[in-house]
Amino acid sequence: MIYVKSGFVLLIYFISHINSSHIKGSWNTKQEFFKFLIKFGFDKTDTRNPEYSLGYIYGNITSQIVHPQQNATFVLLDRSYFLEFYSNRSKSDKQAACSSMFKEINQSIYDPWCNNNKKNNDFLRRIPCPKGMICAEETSQPLSVVKGSQFTFRVEDNAQPRFWYVSLVACYLNTSSCKWQHLNQEMNIDYDIWLVNGNPNHSTHNPLVYQFSFDKQVSHISKKGIYLFLLGDRK
């Protein structure tokens, strides 16, 4: 009886959140070293129609503190990079945690100060982004930022649909030493982020696909499917 009842509550809970690829909230950098936001499945990119099928992640990340002494980092990773990154977050020495979390990623990322190669992976944003402006990583290509937002990531995968992991972490890449450091300043950082399949600039989207993570595109048809999938998906 209790089992069935709690299952029912879970089901209702997930159905009400199922079509939401919009996440909004606040993160305190002192209370939580690491904050996991969402795992989202983007479709395989349709090479004939990339603008309609690329994954887009865009939004704003701000703070009341206008000129923080240090920054935090917004991190977007696929599973192959995420596992090591995630497992190293729990080291008790947070300075050591920061260096090992980013050790592997550091080699291949784009960063305007430390790794200014546009062909590198676009995985990170220094946050908070400057108030009323686009994030520093976007300033060389402002037109590729979705209107009304501070940052935009494009996710392209011509081979297969893939899960991406979005998180916030109290580490920053020092702009002069290019070493990863622990952010020890307390800040409240507000995020407002959309994840969609297809360029939000284009008005004609398949509504069944646009807002759904690819796994949910299938499972939202069957309520039982949603329930089973999400239980397996709890972190």
Ligand X SMILES: *[C@@H]1O[C@H](CO)[C@@H](O)[C@H](O)[C@H]1NC(C)=O
Catalog residues that contact ligand X under the rule CB under 6 A.
60, 70-71, 84, 87-88, 100, 103, 106, 114-115, 126, 129-130, 132-133, 135-136, 143-144, 146, 148-150, 152, 172, 174-181, 192, 199, 201
- Compute the distance between CA of residue 143 and CA of residue 161 in angstroms, rounded to an integer: 26
Distances from the Cα of 115 to the Cα of 105, 110, 141, 145, 149, angstroms: 12, 5, 16, 21, 24
- Compute the distance between CA of residue 211 and CA of residue 150 in angstroms, rounded to an integer: 20
Q: Are 120 and 110 in contact (CB under 8 A)?
A: yes
* Of the candidates 207, 223, 199, 218, the residue with the CA atom closest to the CA atom of residue 57: 199
- Compute the distance between CA of residue 6 and CA of residue 16 in angstroms, rounded to an integer: 16
- Compute the distance between CA of residue 223 and CA of residue 219 in angstroms, rounded to an integer: 7
Q: Is the CB of 1 or the CB of 143 nearer to ligand X?
A: 143
Query: What pairing do the DSSP bridges indicate for beta strands 188-197 and 124-127?
Result: unpaired
Q: b/e per residue, 42-53, with b = 16+ CB within 10 A?
A: bbebeeeeeebb
